[in-house]
Amino acid sequence: MNVIPSNNDSSKANQIEISEVELSAAVERRRNFAIISHPDAGKTTLTEKLLLYGGAIQQAGAVKARGEQRKVTSDWMELEKQRGISITSTVLQFDYKETTINLLDTPGHQDFSEDTYRTLAAADNAVMLEDAAKGLEPQTRKLFEVCRLRGIPIFTFINKMDRPGQEPLSLLDEIESELGLSTWAVNWPIGSGDLFRGLIDRKSKEIVLFSRADRGKQSIERRLRLQDPEIKQLVEDDLLQKALEELELLEEAGSEMDLKLIQSGELTPVFFGSAMTNFGVKPFLDTFLRMAQGPVARNSSSGLIDPLRNSFSGFVFKLQANMDPRHRDRVAFVRVCSGRFKKDMTVKHARTGKNIRLSRPQKIFAQDRAVVEDAYPGDVIGLNNPGMFSIGDTLYTGDRVEYEGIPCFSPEIFSWLRNPNPSAFKNFRKGVNELREEGAVQILYDIDQAKRDPILAAVGQLQLDVVQHRLENEYGVETRLEPMGYQVARWVPGGWSIIEDIGRIFNCKTVRDSWDRPVLLFKNVWNLNQLKEDHPSLELSSVAPVVSGVDPITL
Ligand code: G4P
C-alpha cells in the first residue's frame, strides 16, 4: 500500500469505469449476512452446512479442521487453542446458484468482544440461530439489540429439532413477546426429539420427511404432498394432527408474510431444522436468499449512498493485527458499499485526505488469503494496514463521502492494567496504543493525570485476557490486571462542565476516555438509576459518540 501525492489519482485501475449494467448485476447477485447466536446453538455446524452447499468446502468437519490448522498460524491464537474457542471474526465468501454470499463470521465465545458488534455494522441481514431446547439465550438477545439499532432483516433458524425441545408455539411467542419481533413460520415441525418426523412447508403444502441418519451423515429430505395416502404409514396421525392444528392457529391468529416488514426488521421468517443432520438447511438457504435484502444504501455525511453509485466507497469495520506473527502484519477489513473496487486502485482516505494506492488487497477465507482483483458492494476486502486505518474510516473515489462512524459500545468490565517492570515501558506503551487503535479494547484514564496506568474497558473478560496475552507474546511485556469492580459505563454528552456542575457523585468513578471525554463508571445499574433520579435532566449515553478527524490521547 502506498501513500501518494494528493493530486495524483490517475492510476490505471481508477480509469477503468464499470458500466451501470455490470455494476447493477454484481450488486443484484450479492447477499451478505451474519449469524447471531449463543455459544453451542450450532453456528459452526450450520456455517459448515451452508458452505457445503456453496461448494466452498468439500467435506463436513472442514470448518473445524481449518480452525485447527489456523490455530497454529498465530501466537495469540494459541489462546484460542488452549481454550478451544474461536475469537477472531472472519469473512467467508461463496457462490450458491446465482448468488455470491458473504457470510460475516463472528466470535463464538460468550465473552465476545466489540468485534461482534462491529461486524454487525457491516452486515445487511442477520440469521438468528436458536437451540430449540433453550430458546432465546443472553448473547442472542444482546446481538439482536445491535441488529435492531440498524433495523436489519432477521431470519430465525430454530435448530436441533432432532432433540427434545420446547413447544414450537412457545418459541415463537418468546420471540414476539420478549424481542417485540413479529414472526412468520416458513415451515412447521411435526413432533420433536425422537418423535421428530419432518416439516410442513407452508407455501407448497408439502411434507418434508426427516429420516434419521447416522451421526454426521446427511439425512435425506423426501417430499410428499400433504394429501398423499403414504403419509399415514410414515407419520403418526396424532403428531400430524397436532402440527396441522398449530398451523391452523397460526393461519388465523399469526402474522402474515410481508416482505416489506421482513426487510425493515419488524417481521422474522422462522425456519425449523437440524443443522447437524443437515435437515431443513437447504430449504432455509433457498428461501433466505429470496427474501434477504441485497447490499443496502448507507448513511454518510452527504446523505444515503446507493450501492450503484458509480465510484467506489467503503468503510473499515475491523482491524486485526499480527494474524501471522512471522510478518507482524495488520489487516483492515473494509466493507465495500458502492461502485467497483479494483486492485491497484488509488482511493482517498476521508479522515486524512491522503491518496492511497491499494496494491495488495486480499480476500480472506477463514485465515487463507488470496489477492482480490475486484470487489463489489456487499463484499469485504482485507487491506494491509501499516497503522494508517482506524475503525470507521471511509475510503472512496470520486466525490467526497464519509460514512457514519461505528460507535463504541458500552463496556461492562473494567480493570487497571499495571506494568510491573518500568524498563519495559516503551513496549508497554506501544502495545497499549496499538491494541487500542485496532479496537481490541477501549482505553480509559484516571482523571488524576499522575495516575498513568491505563484502564482497560471491555465487553467480556476474554477480551482482557486476549489483550494481556498479546502484550506478552507480541510486545514482550508481562502485565498485571487489577479488576476495578465497576460494571456500567455512561458517557456524558454535555462534557466536563456538566460534571463540574453536578459535583461529587457517590458510588461512581469519573474517568476520561481516549478522546478526553467524561465517562462515569458505576458499580451496578442501581447506582446509575440513583444518579438519574437525583439529576433527571442529566443526559447520559451508553454508546460513545463517534469521533472523526481528532487524534486520540495515547499513553
Ligand atoms: P456453536 O458454533 O454455535 O458454538 O455450536 P456448534 O456448531 O459447535 O455446535 C454445538 C454442539 O451442538 C455440537 O456438539 C454440535 O454437534 C451440536 N449440534 C449442532 N447442531 C445440532 C443439531 O441440529 N442437532 C443436534 N442433536 N446437535 C447439534 P458437540 O458435542 O459439542 O460437538 P461435536 O462433538 O458434535 O463436534
> Strand pairing partners for 403?
300
- Give the nearest ligand 1 atom to 277 CA: 23
Residue ranges matching CATH 3.40.50.300 in the chain: 31-291, 298-396
Q: What phi and psi values does residue 80 have, to the nearest 5 degrees?
A: -60, -40
> Strand pairing partners for 482?
416
134: Cβ below 6 Å to ligand 1? no
160: Cβ below 6 Å to ligand 1? yes
Domain 298-396 listed as CATH 3.40.50.300: yes
Q: Which among 38, 44, 45 is the best mutation to test ligand 1's pocket, defined by most ligand atoms within 8 Å of the CB? A: 45
| Residue 548 pLDDT class (50, 70, 90 cuts) | low
Among residues of the chain, what percentage have pLDDT more than 90? 55
pLDDT at residue 71 tops 50: no
pLDDT at 145 (0 to 100):
85
**Stretch among 55-64, 137-146, 378-387, 446-455 having the lowest mean pLDDT:** 55-64
Instruction: Please name the residue whose Cα sits nearest to atom 29 of ligand 1.
Output: 40
Q: Output 363 or 337, whichever has higher pLDDT.
A: 337
The distance in angstroms from the start CA to the end CA of the chain is 27
Q: Which among 40, 143, 161, 210 is the best mutation to test ligand 1's pocket, defined by most ligand atoms within 8 Å of the CB? A: 40
216: Cβ below 6 Å to ligand 1? no
pLDDT at 413 (0 to 100):
93
Instruction: Please name the residue whose Cα sits nearest to atom 7 of ligand 1.
Output: 42
**Stretch among 75-79, 177-181, 215-219, 296-300 having the lowest mean pLDDT:** 75-79
- The CATH architecture assigned to 413-534 reads 2-Layer Sandwich (3.30)
- Rounded average pLDDT over 494-517: 91
- Give the nearest ligand 1 atom to 279 CA: 23
pLDDT at residue 75 tops 50: no
How far is Cα 355 from Cα 9, in angstroms, rounded to an integer?
Answer: 7
CB distance 253 to 172 below 8 Å? no
pLDDT at residue 27 tops 70: yes
**Ligand 1: centre distance to CA 198 (Å):** 20
- Give the nearest ligand 1 atom to 37 CA: 3
Each as own residue / partner, the long-range contacts of residues 20-29 (CB below 8 Å, 24 or more positions apart, any chain) are 20/308, 20/310, 22/340, 23/308, 23/310, 23/339, 23/340, 23/376, 24/308, 26/340, 26/376, 26/377, 27/294, 27/295, 27/307, 27/308, 27/376, 27/377, 27/378, 28/294, 29/98, 29/99, 29/100
pLDDT at 405 (0 to 100):
78
pLDDT at residue 298 tops 70: yes
How far is Cα 428 from Cα 421, in angstroms, rounded to an integer?
Answer: 9
pLDDT at 337 (0 to 100):
97
**Ligand 1: centre distance to CA 45 (Å):** 6
Residue ranges matching CATH 3.30.70.3280 in the chain: 413-534
47: Cβ below 6 Å to ligand 1? no
Instruction: Please name the residue whose Cα sits nearest to atom 6 of ligand 1.
Output: 42
pLDDT at residue 325 tops 80: no
pLDDT in tens, 365-379: 555 566 788 999 999
11: Cβ below 6 Å to ligand 1? no
- Give the nearest ligand 1 atom to 159 CA: 23
Q: Which CATH superfamily is domain 31-291 in?
A: P-loop containing nucleotide triphosphate hydrolases (3.40.50.300)
Which range is most confident: 8-12, 75-79, 93-97? 93-97
- Rounded average pLDDT over 500-523: 92
38: Cβ below 6 Å to ligand 1? no
Cα–Cα separations (whole angstroms), residue 312 to 110, 113, 122: 36, 30, 16
CB distance 137 to 40 below 8 Å? no
pLDDT at residue 264 tops 70: yes
Q: Output 243 or 324, whichever has higher pLDDT.
A: 243
**Ligand 1: centre distance to CA 43 (Å):** 8
pLDDT at 65 (0 to 100):
45
**Ligand 1: centre distance to CA 117 (Å):** 24
pLDDT at 339 (0 to 100):
96
pLDDT in tens, 482-495: 999 999 999 999 99
Average pLDDT of the residues of the chain: 85
How far is Cα 401 from Cα 399, in angstroms, rounded to an integer?
Answer: 6
The label of the residue with cell 498479546 reads: 470
